[in-house]
Amino acid sequence: MSDFQSFDQLLTYCQERQNSIWQAALTQEVEDSGRTEEAILNGIHQLVAQMRATIESGIASDDPSMSGLSGGDAKRMMAFLQDSNCVLSPLNIRMMAYGLATLEENSRMRKIVACPTAGGSGSVPAVLIALEDEQKVSREKTVSGLITAGCIGEIVSKRMHLSGAAAGCQAEVGVASGMAAGAMVEMLGGSPQQVLHAAAISMQNLMGLVCDPVAGLVEVPCVVRNGLSGVQAAAAATMALAGVKSFIPIDEVVDAMAEIGKLMPRQLKESADGGLAQTPTARAFTNRFFQMSNKASNLY
């Protein structure tokens, strides 16, 4: 999407040209790809449409995944909107439900938009589509938010690996939350500086998050993490819009995350050999799951 190697370079570009981040990213994409602005925007509209389709099908379904570890929680969250014990705002509940819905659909092997990865695909759609539905934000604003999120994710990818196996879940859900926070600020009219402060605040709050999937499946704790990360992104965006700044510049935040990823032991990087994946409950499930899988494979 862009030739920007750092967020400092991106911010300088925006300031010199009085551009927003999404405008800067779109301009660079036109120059680099040779495609027209219209063609690029049409592609972004299609991605947003798929995000919405995934969320809608996820909320409508209570089908379990093949493992039985997930399914139906998105539907439960939406129903809870009407409960007298629901103390969070409808916007926050939608963000939770939409994040859950996206990861549940991923676990059902249905179509999603990896943003930036499958395991972290719930945060950005949760924020974008919930703002459309609850705040009546226009589709054009949503598109600008997704372009902004993409730009943030791409620059991060040039400074660290976006993989739980390489750097833990901070590289998936953590980065996704930063992308979503920046997107929300963009959609609500914040400045480029505020976009980057929001992304930095959200990512540093999930810095060091381990990747510990039960049985090696992208379900527990991945689904609920995606249900929560959109709300965290919204909180970080709200801080930035209120004038709260990240003391550590975002480039340094990302570099610190990359260093933590290198220091993190293998057992906490998608191996399922540590963390929640090695609790007694998780080990018992894993043994049952693979015994059933082996029996099923022996039938063919």
pLDDT digits (tens, 9 = 90+) for 206-225: 999 999 999 999 999 999 99
What's the pLDDT at 99? 98
CATH number for 7-286 (one of 3.40.50, 1.10.4100, 1.20.58, 3.90.380): it is 1.10.4100
pLDDT at 29: 96
Query: In angstroms, what CA-CA distances link 126 with 35, 76, 94?
Result: 29, 16, 7
Give the chain's largest Cα–Cα span. 66
Asked if 114 and 121 count as a contact pair (C-beta separation under 8 A), the reply is yes
Omega prior to 192 cis, within 30 of 0:
no
3-state secondary structure of 119: coil
Question: Three-class SS of residue 2?
Answer: coil
Query: Which stretches in the chain have pLDDT values below 50?
Result: none
Q: Look up residue 248 and give its DSSP letter.
A: S
CA 34/CA 219 separation, integer angstroms: 39
pLDDT number for residue 297: 63
Give the whole-angstrom CA distance, residue 37 versus residue 43. Answer: 10
Confidence at residue 293, expressed as pLDDT on a 0 to 100 scale: 77
pTM of the model: 0.96
Q: Is 18 left (phi over 0), alpha (psi -120 to 50) or beta?
A: left
Q: Are 121 and 133 in contact (CB under 8 A)?
A: no
CA gap 161, 168 in Å, rounded:
10
Q: Domain segments of the chain: what residues?
A: 7-286
Q: What pLDDT is stored for residue 294 in this prediction? A: 77
Q: Which two tokens stand for residue 231?
A: 């709300």
